[in-house]
Amino acid sequence: MYLVTGATGKTGGQTVKHLLAKGAPVRAFVRNEEKAAPLKEQGAELAVGDIGDTAAVAKAMDGVEGVLLTLPNGPNQLDWELAVLKEAEKAGVKHLVYMSSTESNPDNPRRIPQ
C-alpha cells in the first residue's frame, strides 16, 4: 500500500493515477472527501483528515509500505513534514519520497509565506 499526501493536488493526483494504472494499492490522504471522489472512483482508498492531526496521519500510515510526502507551502509546513516523517518511522514505512520546493531554501528570494 502506498500513501500519497496532497492527493488532490497536481503532483499527488498524478502520482495516484499512475500508481493505480500500475495496479498498486493506493491510499490518498485528503482533507476534502468530495473533492477526492474521482480518486476513489479510480480505485484509491481515501484517508480523510488534516495533515496537522497526528492521529489522522498515524491512522493513514497503517499497513503502508511507501509514502509520497508533498505538501503545499505554508508557515506550518516544516512541522507537518516532520510529524509525517515521525509517524512513517513509527509505522515501519520502508520507502518515503519527500518532495519539497525551491521556496524552502532560506536563500531563495521567494520564501515560503509566513
Helix and strand tally (H, E) in the chain? 4, 5
**Predicted confidence pLDDT, tens digits, the chain (114 residues):** 999 999 999 999 999 999 999 999 999 999 999 999 999 999 999 999 999 999 999 999 999 999 999 988 777 888 889 999 999 999 999 999 998 766 656 666 665 555
CA–CA distance from 18 to each of 11, 44, 90, 105, 109 (Å)? 11, 11, 27, 29, 34
Cell of 94: 520502508
User: Do 29 and 7 touch, CB atoms closer than 8 A?
Assistant: yes
User: Do 95 and 30 touch, CB atoms closer than 8 A?
Assistant: no
